[in-house]
């Protein structure tokens, strides 16, 4: 994981909050690796998330609906913007 320190500062996060962001990022990385080991996809979009599994059907099997409010989908692209900060799609 790489933390964009300048972007965090620009967003108004102090050093303690950036440390919390790092902890949250590490937890999400561990969760994603654990799901991958089981063949589970974490799918998010439209404010909701599900755990999905490819059982060979043309549509993935939904294993669980997650109680989330802060999930966004998309292709996840990001690049430096004209202001010099890395920004998403």
The 8-class DSSP code of residue 28 comes to H
Model-level pTM greater than 0.75?
A: yes
pLDDT digit of tens for each residue in the chain (89 aa)? 889 999 999 999 999 999 999 999 999 999 999 999 999 999 988 778 999 999 999 999 999 999 877 787 777 789 999 999 999 98
Helix (H) or strand (E) holding 80: strand 78-80
């Amino acid at each position: 994981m790489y933390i964009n320190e300048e972007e965090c500062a620009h967003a108004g996060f102090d050093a303690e909050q950036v440390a919390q962001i790092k902890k949250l990022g590490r937890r999400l990385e561990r969760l994603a690796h654990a799901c991958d080991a089981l063949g589970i996809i974490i799918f998010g979009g439209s404010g909701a998330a599900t755990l999905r599994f490819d059982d060979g059907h043309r549509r993935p099997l939904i294993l669980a609906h997650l109680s989330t409010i802060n999930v966004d989908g998309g292709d996840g692209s990001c690049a430096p913007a004209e202001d010099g900060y890395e920004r998403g799609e």
